Structure 1
Amino acid sequence: MASKRILMLVGDFVEDYEAMVPLQILQMVGHQVDTASPDKEAGSHVVTAIHDFEGQQTYSEKRGHNFAITVSFDEVTPDNYDGLVIPGGRSPEFLQLNERVLDIVRHFADGAKPMAVTCHGPYLLTAAGVVSGKRCQAYPSLRPELERAGAIWDPPSTGLDSVCVDGNLVTAPAWPANPAWMREFLRILEQ
């Protein structure tokens, strides 16, 4: 497999496992992954959150780690990337308010470049207006948002560890799906 250059969009309180594990998987197979966040410079970091499933009606949240930012957001040139990763957690709630983030998402969607989006990451897809007619998964609470935006809800078949592929878009409901999510993303990166 030829090495690809991947952009990962993150923000404070990105879900720890949904950022760190994909980063390590992609690096392990030889891809270059640049991590970027609005208002952050290369060498800085965002704070992660760890979401866990402990038997309550929804996930619990704990403080995670410092996650390194490797490229200054203002220097991101979408044309230089072969794929995009959008982890979930809390960060998509405010990343969706940044018009430049949405322009980056539109660039990948319009160019049919591979995109891996999980958990609450589809907030960026709906805000960018790129999900209509696409089959998607996400954290279950995003279903109404996705359907209002014209997406086709693809219900997770095996809990939170499933994956949905629709063309260049690979979506998953949460970090338990990381193996399937990254397997399918790697598959479409090779095409």
Structure 2
Amino acid sequence: MSKKILMLVGDFVEDYEVMVPFQALQIAGHQVDAICPDKKAGQTVRTAIHDFEGDQTYTEKRGHNFTLNATFAEVRAEDYDALVIPGGRAPEYLRLHESVLEIVRHFAGARKPIGSICHGAQILTAAGVVRNRKVNAYPACAPEITAVGGEYVSLPFEGAITDGNLVTGPAWTAHVEWLKQFLAVLG
């Protein structure tokens, strides 16, 4: 059965982490509405490509433009079955929008499926929804997760973890497992 999924994005969202789930979830038959605070359907966000090239951290390059297909101000979280939060640079400033945090709290409170990957955990921690939850994210987010009472679970970069309605993974390298687990929770 087709589900209605909300995706929170912003400028410099990680390219693969927005493009791949956006398309894969549609291929699986679901409606995916991508929104960004202060932007409307038809507008774009810029993406960033994060890669692992042997440095102490990922490298970052300019990616594509990603076109939003829904208007943030018109969306009602109650109308959606699930939430997806890609990583990249966007979560560090999206978490400063109270309206973004209210959306996340709605999905958490209603126990609707939430899929978060990489730095998407920054939004989860800011929303206060990871206390007593097992969470994975890009390893640099581990201190934020534990600081708010979550349990950071270290996984291989191809892994993902499900804790109830919450499916998390470390980076785009985990898409296969992360999407499998998210689709299982989605039903």
State whether TM-score is above 0.5: yes
* 1:35 paired residue number: 34
Residues 24-103 of structure 1 mapped to structure 2, 5 A cutoff:
24-103=23-102
Provide the secondary structure at the position in 1 that maps to 2:149: coil
Is 1:127 paired with 2:126? yes
* 1:176 paired residue number: 173
Is 1:162 paired with 2:159? yes
| 1:177 partner amino acid | A
| 2:38 partner amino acid | D
Is 1:188 paired with 2:185? yes
CA distance in 1, matches of 2:42, 2:152: 38
Deviations 1:119-178 (A, max 9, x none): 00011111111110000000000101100010011111x2x1110100000000000001
Deviations 1:54-75 (A, max 9, x none): 0000000000000011111000
The alignment's C-alpha RMSD in Å is 0.5
| 1:45 partner amino acid | T
CA distance in 2, matches of 1:40, 1:32: 19
Number of aligned residue pairs: give it.
187
Q: Deviation of residue 78 (structure 1)?
A: 0.3
Q: Deviation of residue 182 (structure 1)?
A: 0.6
Superposition TM-score, scaled by structure 1 size? 0.97
Unaligned runs of 5+ in 2: none
| 1:101 partner amino acid | V
Q: Deviation of residue 51 (structure 1)?
A: 0.2
CA distance in 1, matches of 2:27, 2:120: 23
Unaligned runs of 5+ in 1: none
Is 1:11 paired with 2:3? no
CA distance in 2, matches of 1:144, 1:26: 30
